[in-house]
Amino acid sequence: MALLHRLLGRAARIVWRVTRPRTIGVRAVLLDPAGARVALVRHTYIDGWYLPGGGVKKGEGVTQALHRELAEEVAVTGATVERVLGVYHNRREGKDDHVVVYVARAGSDALHGADALEVAEVGWFALDALPESTTPATRRRIGEFRDGATGSGAW
């Protein structure tokens, strides 16, 4: 099933290069209750560790999408949104994507991959001890959070 997701992901990226859709996405610097660790996700269809999140569906608000994505990817419901870290422009994969990154806090330490077809692995990681394969953009967002910066610009 993971191979199917990887193939579908590659097909989607080819379509995006041709159609260049404008999309809106959300991600979360999701902290554990103590604020010492951040949740990261490793997907089945792409390499690397990412902040949990995804696309905003038609007719859905960005905060609503964030809560849906947290439930789908890391099985966290009722996270407290603390602030917007930044709004970024991502032109990778052929899309014209705008990504709203929130800082949120989970109500408990419970964390597990909710959608086994999409999520290979999830985990809590210390802010200064991220997995080696954490993506560069994810590292930049976490760095901005650690520095107390408000981010913007390119993803």
- The whole-number pLDDT of residue 67 equals 98
- The whole-number pLDDT of residue 154 equals 81
Give the number of other CB atoms < 10 A from CB of residue 146.
12
- The whole-number pLDDT of residue 60 equals 97
CA dist 145 and 117 (Å) reads: 30
Q: Does the pLDDT of residue 152 top 90, yes or no?
A: no
Kindly report the CA angle at 73 between 34 and 64, in degrees rounded to 5? 85
- The whole-number pLDDT of residue 97 equals 82
Boundaries of every domain in the chain = 2-154
- Quote the pTM value: 0.84
- The whole-number pLDDT of residue 14 equals 61
- The whole-number pLDDT of residue 19 equals 61
Q: What is the pLDDT of residues 90-135, one digit of tens each?
A: 877 666 889 999 999 999 988 887 778 889 999 999 999 999 999 9
Pick from 24, 34, 37: which is nearest to 69 by CA?
24
Q: What is the pLDDT of residues 18-77, one digit of tens each?
A: 566 678 999 999 999 999 999 999 999 889 999 999 999 999 999 999 999 999 999 999
- The whole-number pLDDT of residue 30 equals 98
Calculate the CA dihedral of residues 31, 87, 113, 142 and round it to 10 degrees: -40
Architecture of the CATH domain 2-154: Alpha-Beta Complex (3.90)
Which of helix, strand or coil describes residue 125? strand
- The whole-number pLDDT of residue 11 equals 64
